Amino acid sequence: MVSGLINANPVVYERKERRVRTAPFSADEYAVEPIDQQEIFDHIRDIKDPEHPYSLEELKVVTEDAIEVDDKHSHVRVTFTPTVEHCSMATVIGLCLRVKLMRSLPSRYKVDIRIAPGTHATEAAVNKQLNDKERVAAALENPNLLDMVDECLAPTYA
């Protein structure tokens, strides 16, 4: 691992208030409730940054607005913003987002993860890697990498 921190002094933002989900006005308790932005955000907001004791929400790496959901077509796209444009942790953050959504969403969902355009020096390369499922599968068979991902995901299961 690198000794110095990539971004030694990140700006930490206040966390958004947790909204209580409003119950749908439906008499049928078995009615399918579509998955929305807020639900996706709740899955990923508490992911811990790989190098700081803050959540991705606190660092504004992810925001609710940067999540696009098309429940009808089972498609989700999460756009994240690394704290610095040379952040070598961008791939790990992206992998954490992918793994968390893979574990939380129904398997019918197609998930695309990408870096916010213009916020990272090697944007295209990181995006390509994060969306190549063979590389993701191989990465997740690497015990060190999987430990790192699981550590970042731990707070989301609290």
Partner 1 sequence: MDLLEGNLELKEIQKLEGHTDRVWSVAWNPATGAAGIPAMFASCSGDKTVRIWQQTPSARCSASFECKAVLEETHNRTVRSCAWSPSGKLLATASFDATTAIWEHIGDDFECVSTLEGHENEVKSVSWNASGSLLATCSRDKSVWIWEVQPGNEFECVAVLQGHTQDVKMVKWHPFMDVLFSCSYDNTVKVWAEDGDTDDWHCVQTLGEPNNGHTSTVWALSFNSTGDKMVTCSDDLTLKIWETDSRIPQETDGYMPWRHLSTLTGYHDRTIFSVHWSSEGVIASGAADDAIRLFIENKDGLVDGPSYKMLLKKEKAHDMDVNSVQWSPKEQRLLASASDDGTIKIWEMVPSS
* Interacting residues with partner 1 (CB under 8 A): 107-108, 110, 128, 131-135, 137-138, 141
Which helix (H) or strand (E) is 124 found in, with range? Answer: helix 123-130
User: Which residue do the tokens 């508490």 mark?
Assistant: 46
Q: Shortest gap between Cβ of 31 and partner 1 (angstroms)?
A: 22
CB of residue 40 to partner 1, shortest distance in Å: 19
Tokens of 55: 């959540």
CB-wise, 29 or 141, nearer to partner 1? 141
Please say which residue, 39 or 112, places its beta carbon nearer to partner 1: 112
Listed residue (78, 91, 107, 89) closest to 140, CA to CA: 91
Fill in the amino acid letter for 143.
Answer: P
Bridge partners of 67, per DSSP, are: 78
Smaller CB separation from partner 1, 66 or 140: 140
111 φ, ψ (degrees, to nearest 5): -115, 130
Residue 136 CB, shortest distance to partner 1, in Å, is 11
Quote the tokens at residue 158: 């609290």
Q: Which is nearer to partner 1, 3 or 107 (CB)?
A: 107
Considering the complex, what minimum distance in angstroms separates the CB of residue 12 from partner 1?
Answer: 37
Determine contact, residues 125/86, Cβ cutoff 8 Å: no
